[in-house]
Structure 1
Amino acid sequence: MTHISPAYRVRRGASTLRRFFARVAGDQSGAAAIELGLLAPVLTLMMVSVIDIGRGVYRKMQVEDAAQVGAQYAMRNGFDASAISNAVVSATNFSSIAASPAPVQFCGCATGSGINTVSCGTTCPGGAVAGTYTTVSAQATYSSLLNYQIVPQNYNFSAQSTARLQ
């Protein structure tokens, strides 16, 4: 029976480990799968976040469009608060839009900076008679897909549109 010294066994084991690690370090198979496994969660979170932001912007645009549809309805059909509110609510497929506060009708004089509210029949500074206006409002709440912890999860969108009726 031959006796193998412990020092030989250590050298032989170290040599075997060096060959193994040299072979593994040079092996590139599976590297792409590991990289994808590490990056996939980050890329997925980025994609979901971009979609979430896009949905929020789209919802904001729907609220603005609903207020404008209400003002256009009033211009075509005259002031009817209930009918204008129905036009606002049914303007888009976003079911949580509300006509709040309710549409209002007022008389005013147009200026370079906006509309000054005056009594109906008043003569404006330019000599014209005060016009009849309506202000239509729309509101909705948007809830994001994920709770990001650093920004609110719910956003309250509101829009107003004012139009001259006559």
Structure 2
Amino acid sequence: MRPSPGIRRFFRRAARDTGGAAAVEFGLIVPMLALMVVGIMDVGLAVHRKMQVEHAAQAGAEYAILNGFDASAISSAVTSATSATGITADPPPENFCGCATSAGVAPLTCGTTCPGGAAAGTYTTVSAKATYSTIINYTVVPDAYTFGAKSTVRLQ
């Protein structure tokens, strides 16, 4: 059975008619572009939040270098290091003695001698933590991320 001539004419005209094609293409592309822009903004804001947490831990360590170990004052320096809210000194700052090694600081009893012959130094570890929540729910990634940073400095 062959289609009627009227139906054939309709499909030929529709195939040649390009009016409105740009609007249809625009309507199909815009939602994808908008999602890409929002996703890029989300990644940028998350990276910025991570940098704020790292800065807060470093600010607490700098406070300890200048003023000595005071857990509550260092915690306050961490939380007030940036204008961002929700940054905490978690776990709280800790003070310990140890010897510097290639892998970090090996904890030792204060007053003991390090393997190289030097006296064990006093160190402070400052931690900062904050949570970042995404702008929209992407369903394939978590809605929130917790960022943490730690800075260890020698006080003496």
TM-score by length of 2: 0.90
Q: Give the structure with higher Rg (CA).
A: 1
**Cross-structure match for 1:7:** none
**Cross-structure match for 1:33:** 23
Structure 2 residue aligned with 1:158, among 137, 148, 152?
148
Matching residue's letter, 1:140: A
Tell me the distance in 1 between the aligned counterparts of 2:8 and 2:110.
95
1:60 partnered with 2:65:
no
Deviation digits for residues 80-103 of structure 1, max 9, x if unmatched? 111111111111122010011111
**Structure 1 residue 109 displacement after superposition:** 0.8
Structure 2 residue aligned with 1:97, among 79, 87, 107?
87
1:126 partnered with 2:126:
no
Matching residue's letter, 1:100: D
Deviation digits for residues 38-73 of structure 1, max 9, x if unmatched? 111111112111211221121112111111111111
Deviation digits for residues 23-49 of structure 1, max 9, x if unmatched? 332232221111010111111112111
Structure 1 residue ranges (4+ consecutive) displaced by more than 6 angstroms after TM superposition: none
**Structure 1 residue 123 displacement after superposition:** 1.3
1:78 partnered with 2:77:
no
TM-score by length of 1: 0.85
**Structure 1 residue 15 displacement after superposition:** 4.7
**Cross-structure match for 2:37:** 47
Matching residue's letter, 1:39: I
Matching residue's letter, 2:87: I
**Cross-structure match for 1:3:** none
Tell me the distance in 1 between the aligned counterparts of 2:16 and 2:80.
64
Aligned-residue identity in percent = 61
Gapped regions of structure 2 (runs ≥ 5): none
Give the CA RMSD over aligned residues: 1.5
* SS of residue in 2 equivalent to 1:86: helix
Gapped regions of structure 1 (runs ≥ 5): 1-13
* SS of residue in 1 equivalent to 2:14: helix
Tell me the distance in 2 between the aligned counterparts of 1:156 and 1:20.
59
**Structure 1 residue 126 displacement after superposition:** 1.0
Matching residue's letter, 1:41: P
